[in-house]
Amino acid sequence: MYFYLYKDNQGYWRWKLKAANHETIAVSSESYVNKSDAEHAINLVKSTNTAPIYESKAA
Report the CATH number that the domain containing residue 35 is assigned in CATH: 3.30.160.160
Q: Is the distance from CB of 27 to CB of 33 less than 8 angstroms?
A: no
| Distance in angstroms (rounded) separating the CA atoms of residues 19 and 2 | 7
Please check whether residue 54 lies inside any domain of the structure.
no
Domain that holds residue 41: 2-48
Please check whether residue 37 lies inside any domain of the structure.
yes
Q: Is the distance from CB of 32 to CB of 13 less than 8 angstroms?
A: yes
Please check whether residue 23 lies inside any domain of the structure.
yes
| Distance in angstroms (rounded) separating the CA atoms of residues 43 and 29 | 15
Q: What are phi and psi of 9, to 5 degrees?
A: -65, -20
Percent with pLDDT over 90 in the chain: 75
**In a 3-state reduction of DSSP, which class is residue 26?**
strand
Please check whether residue 58 lies inside any domain of the structure.
no
For position 59, what pLDDT does the model report?
Answer: 66
Q: Is the distance from CB of 6 to CB of 28 less than 8 angstroms?
A: no
| Structural domains of the chain, count | 1
pTM (two decimals): 0.78
Residue-wise pLDDT tens digits, 4-32: 999 999 999 999 999 999 999 999 999 99
